[in-house]
Amino acid sequence: MSKKVKTGFVCDQCGADYPRWGGQCTSCGEWNTIKEVRLGGVERSPRASGYAGSRSEVKLLSDVNLSQAERIFSGISEFDRVLGGGIVCGSVVLIGGAPGAGKSTLLLQAIANIAARGVSVLYVSGEESLQQIAERAHRLKLPADKIMMLAETSVQQICDVLDEIKPQILVIDSIQVMHTQDTESAPGSVSQVRESASYLTQYAKKHGVSIFMVGHVTKDQSLAGPMTLSHIVDTQVMLGSTDDSRFRVLRADKNRFGSVGELGFFAMDSSGLKEVKNPSAMFLNRPDKPSSGSVVTVLWEGTRPLLVEIQALVTDCQYGNPRRLAVGFDQNRLAMLLAVLSRHGGIVTATDEIYANVVGGIKVTETSSDLAIVVGVVSSLRDKIIPHDTFFFGEIGLSGEIRPVANGHARLNDAAKHGFKKAVIPKANVPKKAIEGLKIHGVSTLSEALELLKEM
């Protein structure tokens, strides 16, 4: 083989490529971050030249097997839900979160359940010692006699072990400490993270191993490492906490095998992460004495409805410029809804300060909460209490119309199961068949909704 070494220069911070060395990266502005890396052409082992397999075959698209991908169930229904119904064989999942969120705990619980059913699993730790992981498993009372462990940070060495024991599930904790021998930069750098993740992903696709990679986050809660890391993996999920530190929310930001935006809910205690079977009850822990500005709406998260409380506060302006603050949804959306309320509802709030919040730390990404937000603002402005057994949902257009939302019937059924008696929804979402115990009011314009609010 050729002995000639081909090199290039890559920024450790942003991954920008350069033909020669420079003191400052022109892409991110950092100094002394451009490092020389080997690009290929040097004599190396078969393992070092790629993921060590036979050359891929060219196939016609019509010849590709369309059978559904086999899935492995973890025994944790909320975890499987976020993944799209289970772990797809040969998939690569990146799970990120802040330190202490419970990433390692969740994965350890999942693979313990999987290993107990006879599926071979390997947990590779690059940060914690094997004794620390064993102590955690003992504290969580997990069956640890079938979980194989390995303390290693070299992806080439890991893949050599995989060839020997051939596990079905592999956990990498974490991808930021892994390194490949073909890249000379330090572990954790942009180039090392990118190359290590790419190397492991190619191995997973070639050998059908399902890989979970633990990822760190930066101070702004975004995933650490290059943006290409999100493109390399099949699924990216983030584990975070709600306003109540006891609860954790697992959200799918990218999923090639399921719904994006799917949520899984867990409660953290001394025995690990426990599934929350009824997340709506978790977010509807309302005080016995109702107050103005509090409204319940039904969101659609992934494949299920979720009841949440929206609070609004309207107060006199203390300074010259009235504030508009939204927590949990787009602040520009709040400004637009206030403009529609002024134009088509006849309620002017230009001189008032308005604060709106989604209780529980949930981020609202859909428009079905528009009607509830406006009702909450009017409720606080008029100091009118909304009955506890009433909920609202519907999108508000710029001309004041109330537009229908998707999965309206499922939202109504879920609210009825939680004891709600009255619903104010878009007229187009009113079901043809009545729902037992639920009185439904269909409205087509904002003015109709405000008139109905006066009668409550």
Report the CATH number at residue 440: 3.30.230.10
pLDDT at position 414:
93
Residues 36 and 103 in one domain: no
Angle at 435 between CA 430 and CA 438, to 5 degrees: 90
| Cα–Cα nearest to 170, from 189, 145, 152 | 152
Which of 38-52, 314-328, 420-434 shows the lowest mean pLDDT across its residues?
Answer: 38-52
**Strand ranges (E), 83-141:** 87-88, 92-97, 121-125
| Cα–Cα nearest to 120, from 187, 53, 165 | 165
Residues 77 and 152 in one domain: yes
Residue 55 CB partners (closer than 8 Å, separation 6+): none
Q: Is residue 288 part of a domain?
A: yes
Contact 253, 260 (CB under 8 A): yes
Dist CA 456 CA 452 (whole Å)? 7
pLDDT, tens digit, 9 for 90 and up, residues 90-145: 999 999 998 888 999 999 999 999 999 999 999 999 999 999 999 999 999 998 89
Q: Is residue 47 part of a domain?
A: no
Backbone angles phi, psi at 276, to 5 degrees: -100, 105
- Taking residues 358-366, what's their average pLDDT? 86
pLDDT at position 408:
95
pLDDT at position 341:
96
Residues 299 and 247 in one domain: no
Asked if pLDDT for residue 69 goes beyond 50, the answer is yes
pLDDT at position 64:
76
Residues 234 and 102 in one domain: yes
| Cα–Cα nearest to 258, from 410, 91, 409 | 91
- Containing H/E element for 11? strand 6-11
- Taking residues 382-400, what's their average pLDDT? 95
Backbone angles phi, psi at 164, to 5 degrees: -80, -50
| Cα–Cα nearest to 408, from 435, 428, 434, 384 | 428
Q: Is residue 55 part of a domain?
A: no
> Residue 253: helix, strand or coil by DSSP?
strand
- Taking residues 395-409, what's their average pLDDT? 96
pLDDT at position 401:
97
Q: What one-character DSSP code corresponds to residue 133?
A: H
| Longest CA pairwise span in the chain (Å) | 85
Report which residue type is found at 267.
A
pLDDT at position 27:
77
Q: Is residue 74 part of a domain?
A: yes
Residues 194 and 77 in one domain: yes
Residues 201 and 339 in one domain: no
Residues 181 and 161 in one domain: yes
Q: pTM of the full predicted structure?
A: 0.76
Residues 90 and 230 in one domain: yes
Report which residue type is found at 32.
N
Q: How many Cβ atoms are within 10 Å of 315's Cβ, its own excluded?
A: 13
Residues 435 and 359 in one domain: yes
Averaged pLDDT of the chain: 88
CATH of the domain at 176: 3.40.50.300
Asked if pLDDT for residue 225 goes beyond 90, the answer is no
Which residue's entry shows tokens 């949990």?
328
- Taking residues 334-343, what's their average pLDDT? 96
Q: Is residue 336 part of a domain?
A: yes
Contact 86, 73 (CB under 8 A): yes
pLDDT, tens digit, 9 for 90 and up, residues 6-63: 677 877 777 777 888 888 888 778 888 787 776 543 334 444 444 444 566 788 888 8
- Taking residues 212-231, what's their average pLDDT? 83
- Containing H/E element for 112? helix 103-116
Which of the pair, 78 or 186, is modelled with greater confidence? 78
pLDDT at position 35:
78
pLDDT at position 47:
44
Residues 298 and 266 in one domain: no
Contact 216, 174 (CB under 8 A): yes
**Could you give the count of Cα atoms lying within 13 Å of 87 in the half-sphere of its Cβ?**
28
Dist CA 182 CA 41 (whole Å)? 11
- Of 276, 295, 323, the position where a domain reaches its end is 276
Count the domains in the chain: 3
Burial classification of residue 55, based on how many CB atoms lie within 10 Å of its CB (0-12 exposed, 13-18 middle, 19 or more buried): exposed
Q: How far does the chain reach from its first CA to its final CA, in angstroms?
A: 83
Q: Is residue 292 part of a domain?
A: yes
pLDDT at position 63:
82
Q: Is residue 45 part of a domain?
A: no
pLDDT at position 6:
63
Angle at 273 between CA 267 and CA 277, to 5 degrees: 55
Which of the pair, 14 or 80, is modelled with greater confidence? 80
Which residue's entry shows tokens 């069956």?
143
> Residue 320: helix, strand or coil by DSSP?
coil
Contact 295, 379 (CB under 8 A): yes
- Of 211, 244, 276, the position where a domain reaches its end is 276
pLDDT at position 10:
78
Dist CA 218 CA 198 (whole Å)? 21
Asked if pLDDT for residue 68 goes beyond 70, the answer is no
Residues 311 and 241 in one domain: no
Q: How many Cβ atoms are within 10 Å of 378's Cβ, its own excluded?
A: 25
Q: Is residue 54 part of a domain?
A: no
C-alpha torsion sign, points 57, 59, 63, 64: positive
Which residue's entry shows tokens 């075959």?
57
Percent of the chain whose pLDDT exceeds 90: 62
Q: Which two tokens stand for residue 173?
A: 């904790």
Residues 179 and 157 in one domain: yes
Which of the pair, 317 or 298, is modelled with greater confidence? 298
Domain holding 364, by residue range, is 282-454
- Of 276, 300, 317, the position where a domain reaches its end is 276
